[in-house]
Amino acid sequence: MDFKMEIATAISACTGMDANEAVNYIEIPPDRKMGDYAFPCFRLAKTLRKAPPVIAQEIIEKLKKPDFISSAEVKGAYVNFFADKSVFVRNVIERSVSASYGSSDMGNGKTVVIDYSSPNIAKPFHVGHLRSTVIGSALYKIYTELGYKCVGINHLGDWGTQFGKLISAYKRWGSKEAVERDGISELMRIYVKFHDEAEKEPSLNDEARGWFVKMQEGDDEAITLWKWFYEMSIREFERVYDILDVKFDSYAGESFYNDKMDAVVEELKAKNLLTESNGAQIVDLEDSNMPPCLIIRSDGGTLYATRDIAAALYRKKTYDFDKCIYITAIDQNLHFAQWFKVIEKMGYDWAGSLVHVPFGLVSLESGKLSTRHGNVVLMEELLKGSIDETRRIIEEKNPDLPDKENVAKQVGIGAVKFNDLYNGRIKDVVFSWSRMLNFDGETGPYVQYTNARACSVLKKAGDVDLSQAEYSAVSDESSFEVCRELNNFPAKVIDAAEKYEPSIISRYLVDLSQAFNKFYHDNPIIVEDKKVMAARLLIVKAVNNVLVKGLSLLGISAPEQM
């Protein structure tokens, strides 16, 4: 039962307002004494030509209450509804113990392409890559839960002038032995050295551009070195992705579109969209109040926009997506707005299905992240630190815990992911070891521990006939509050998808955990009265089910013991 829709339907019968519109205005009162649901009548004042309090009174007089509503009353311009707790609780519990709770078929037959993570090869996977990676992975899982077919793409930064710089650096200061031994860390060392030296000797940048031209022309030495750097990077990235339990359906990066850009340029020419400007080829976007979108540089080279347009055309043709989501830092807002507009000017009616999902920047307490200057926290270093800290806490608080090493990994990695996904994605994040590894308060370990507590109760109860539950026994305030939170889960999953905001789920899981822990404190669960015990165990089972599913949507494990 969708409780809000049931109320909206009853209001529609009284007022003529469409139920699908009315449901959007139904509120949850901040003070529970004012009811469990409330409908403000202001929206009807203009159409009914009456004062809102008068409309509220007329609704009360005509209202046919849904079965789960025990009473309704007028409070000013509001109609407040009070739920019949036994009916409400029974309905919520019966739905929320189901394995399919929170799932939907709303996306059946639709495809969503999600472009996320996308690090540059030959550079270390650092904490700055975390946000795109975990936000994208969570949205992939959330959309899948709602019935969509998802395609996860890791659009690797595997082409461009930076590889000319790296080849130049390798030729000057690198060795095969050092790169084979130290991998990306050695490539990082010589890349940082190149930038330091280029500040003193700018001609090095010309040398780097020369090597990139050789790459574009297919020079054997340049391509062999580039492939070597690429394969080494993929091996190291996949090791980190395995630790994070993040998967992709495609690793087609920038280089994949090298042979697909000429067709884009020719199409833009044929549609009279290209204009010459200082030797470069641009698409003028003045009519959209944006700077021009640069397609071909004055030296003939292509740019990010050229490749992104080629990639979008390829993805539409290959996957026939209903939506294509790009998860990148907020400072790329203009770039995406520009080339989205170019797609629109090319006459493609699916331009509106391209979505940029920006996130705030990550910086260190000591300053901005920069691979050029080596100012980064490596992802493996972060994850190892979190696992080590978790292991230390386990040894201190529960040294006899079975499977300690696996639990340390699940909790340590979960803490890192949850910390990121608890923040609204648009907020800037200052990376802090102490905050990241804080296991108190509104954190991943707190939610995981709450679930482990629920598992412990269920295990201790043993085999109980849950069908004999007496729902009137769980109509007290703390039991009812848990059920109210459980009832919100399906709507939270949909809201997270529609707003591209996994933090809606992570914050919900904290709210549910807090409600459950109050219920656990207020109500003994293993009691002699079998009907009372069965009802309370059903709440525990439902919370366990929703916490496990909610954490899984964030890509976080739920250990049964902690």
Catalytic residue status for 129 = yes
| Cβ burial 467-492 (10 Å sphere, 16+ → b, else e) | eebbbebbbeebbbbbbbbbbbbbeb
Given a contact cutoff of 8 angstroms between Cβ atoms, the answer to whether 57 and 73 are in contact is no
What the block records as the tokens of 511 is 């709210």
Rounded CA separation 391/407 (Å): 8
| Cβ burial 19-58 (10 Å sphere, 16+ → b, else e) | beebbebbeeeeeeebbbbbbbbebbeeebeeebeebbeb
Catalytic residue status for 123 = yes
Catalytic residue status for 126 = yes
What the block records as the tokens of 23 is 């449901």
What the block records as the tokens of 108 is 């059946």
Contacts of 471 (CB under 8 A, 6+ apart): 86, 89, 90, 93, 535
Residue 486 CA to chain centroid, in angstroms?
Answer: 21
Given a contact cutoff of 8 angstroms between Cβ atoms, the answer to whether 295 and 274 are in contact is yes
User: Which is the catalytic residue, given 4, 85, 123, 316?
Assistant: 123
Per residue, the 3-state secondary structure of 402-459, as one string, reads CCHHHHHHHHHHHHHHHHHHHCCCCCCEEECHHHHCCCCCCCHHHHHHHHHHHHHHHH
User: Which is the catalytic residue, given 126, 165, 541, 549?
Assistant: 126
What is the distance in angstroms between the CA of the first residue and the CA of the last residue of the chain?
Answer: 35
Task: Please report which helix (H) or strand (E) contains residue 488, including its range.
Answer: helix 477-498
Catalytically active residues are 123, 126, 129
